[in-house]
Structure 1
Amino acid sequence: MEHDRVGTRAWVLHPDIKSDPDRRPAKPALGEAVALAAALPGLDVAGSETVSLPKAHAGMLFGKGKIEELRLRFEAEEVELVLVDGPVSPVQQRNLEKVWGVKLLDRTGLILEIFSDRARTREGVLQVEMAALSYQRTRLVRAWTHLERQRGGLGFVGGPGETQIEADRRAIDDQLVRLRRQLDKVVRTRDLHRKARAKVPYPIVALVGYTNAGKSTLFNLLTGAEVTAKDMLFATLDPTMRRVRLPDGPEVILSDTVGFISDLPTELVAAFRATLEEVLAADLILHVRDISHPDTESQARDVTAILSSLGVDDSRPQIEVWNKLDLLDPEAREAMAARAARSDGIIAISALTGSGIDGLLAATAERLQDRRHTSALHLAFSDGKRRAWLFRQDIVQTETQTEDGFDITVLWTPRQQAQFEAL
């Protein structure tokens, strides 16, 4: 069967494993996986399907019959790349590639591809390279000989990436050490920028949310900036910051962050901590939710879990922003807006039409009324726990060691001062 060539022909599989305790609802999970694939330039998604399994097969992931059925389908559809929405071990990858005669990427590999395509800042690029190398290091199973050596095209899918796959662990480790050194330099520079920002008496408002929730569209609306706002997963990968004056309120620094996603591979959570560092310094977090998405509740839980893992606790002021009201039918829209109006800390909006934005700005200004102020503290050497807390909050301006402890100047909100006094 001949097909018009647009790019690498890919097929998306979502293994729905009954025995998996973290199993996600199959339909939205497959939809998200297809959207991930669509976010990668040069891919032509030829088809997608869910494969139901009682449990994963150790060496091949799928059962024999299913593997043969899929092989025939891939052959008929001229598929060159199979994307498996879940973890695939190096051995499973090698075996499936051999049987199917295609290149295979698991969820981590696909997300790495997208991150490498999107990272723009020096830091983002370095962190993606490190994450990619750590991932490849676990995949040095010397059995890719059945694939064409060079297929050109995408970074890790073919072409230049193949040489890394063939590199031995020592070469990768040397490269990781070099990248880590470069990254340390970049992070130190950012640290200086952040310290300079901490001295500015503007509160920081961070936008967080599941990927594709509409954060960048909201950011553009509030700041007039042209941040990439595409209906695409992971459109934003580097922290973007702008100053915004709230009506009748303070000036604030608004920060747009990378979109969160369920089952984000651990090497990528580490790689993208920097884009989330702004959240740790934020005075207020706006958690943007796509309220029209069928899986909006579990997406919100994923975001909360990642925030907790970063060290953002419940005491940090948050407003939940229910976005994309415009995608609901009039009846559901009215019900949702009424629900939000009855709830403390929830604002319903449409970043696309601008509906509800005035209410969001007013709520933001109200939450930030407890403006930051400077205090001078003296802590004894034995007061290590409280001193560590101050540094964790990113509010220390100066610190001088004295004979019996530390003189510290902090810039904080009354809320943080109360928390500190309660320690």
Structure 2
Amino acid sequence: MTAVAQTHTGLSQERGLLRFITAGSVDDGKSTLIGRLLFDSKGIFADQLDAISRAKHKRTVGDTIDLSLLTDGLEAEREQGITIDVAYRYFATPKRKFIIADTPGHEQYTRNMVTGASTADAVIILIDVSKVKLNDNGSVDLLVQTKRHSTIAHLLQIEHVVIAVNKMDLVDYDQTVYDRIVAEYRNFAARLGLKDIHAVPLSALAGDNVVSATDNMPWYKGPTLIDLLESLSVYDACHDEPFRFPVQLVARHNGHEANDFRGYMGRIEAGKVSKGDQLLVQPGGQTATVKDILTLDRSLDSAFVGQSVTILLNEYLDISRGDMLVSAERPASLLKTVKADLCWLSEDALDGRRKYWLKHTTRQVSARVTAVESLLDINTQERRPADTLKLNDIATVSINVQQPLAADAYDQLRSTGAFILIDEVTHQTVAAGMIRIETN
């Protein structure tokens, strides 16, 4: 009996694939920017180009192609000229492969932005120069959605932030406007705690500084957007983390064999495991020794993060779906009370009297939000008391769970530090959470 698995050829510190999202307010040009990246990097097929050339909802004049239609795939998106759902696109350059998530700009679709950002290595935050208010005293008023998306990027621990100051053609490529916007954003990012900030002036519609450099902004000496994306370092830190293996399925023999096969199937979320390793079963607390590691077609001496495997143990233990096999030397924290940053995604407000399902890795437990400790003000970054949460609110909360969770702090390990809350009645996802564990 073996698990469906993917072959791992070794550890690579620098990943050739970059996952990034675009974020910003409505009509900042996110879909057009992605369309320009795909078009200029030859990442679209001739039939796709022909289809959008004949599209009835295009917003360009004459024969000019509306590149936003490459990602706005829903009919409602094309009719309204907005992005509603997250659209994923793939393209590659000679130097790197990319997966893009085009996320909505409307505040009501912020939950979709959270979905796209959860697996991203980088975020491109577009700022439309025509919408930014330039004050007489030299300051700049950033849009609320710019602040909201930056806050979410910080909460989700996205490593790289690229500020794309878009539509520079509308201000005659004025360097002063660009410098003021970037300075204001860097001040805001510093208060927020964002560190790796890059800025590029561009025009997605005209193609300035997207894939090719432009003569319109000779004062800008930095890389184009695609050059910047190709140069961002992406290191798989999960290789260095302690072993984490949420059990998805307990595999038994098929009933026609004499051997009593019992294997534990799942995906390695962090670290590595080898034959003979001492493991701990959480939350039960039993210790075990790895007997064998199986993939689809062979036995392995060791397996690494990202692989789907079946683990056999020397001991006969009561292990089921939702349990986690972890490093005996560096186990996860066992939590009965979960402190977390929570993004509320439902149009129905949080009801502290109700129970929700908390889904964490492969484990699902009954839970109740016992306290909203502080609600974050997106504009000021200040926190204030609150009794409930409404759509798009971000807050620090306390949650009691019926059975203990084996978890890590989100800023240490995303895969075992994240969870969602599910409505018990409608089965809709109502919130996404990032676990915070205080260290003494």
TM-score of the two chains, using structure 1 as the length reference: 0.28
| Higher relative contact order, chain-length normalized (CA < 8 Å, sep 6+) | 2
Q: Which one has the bigger helix percentage?
A: 1
TM-score (norm 2): 0.27
The structure with the greater share of residues assigned to strand is: 2
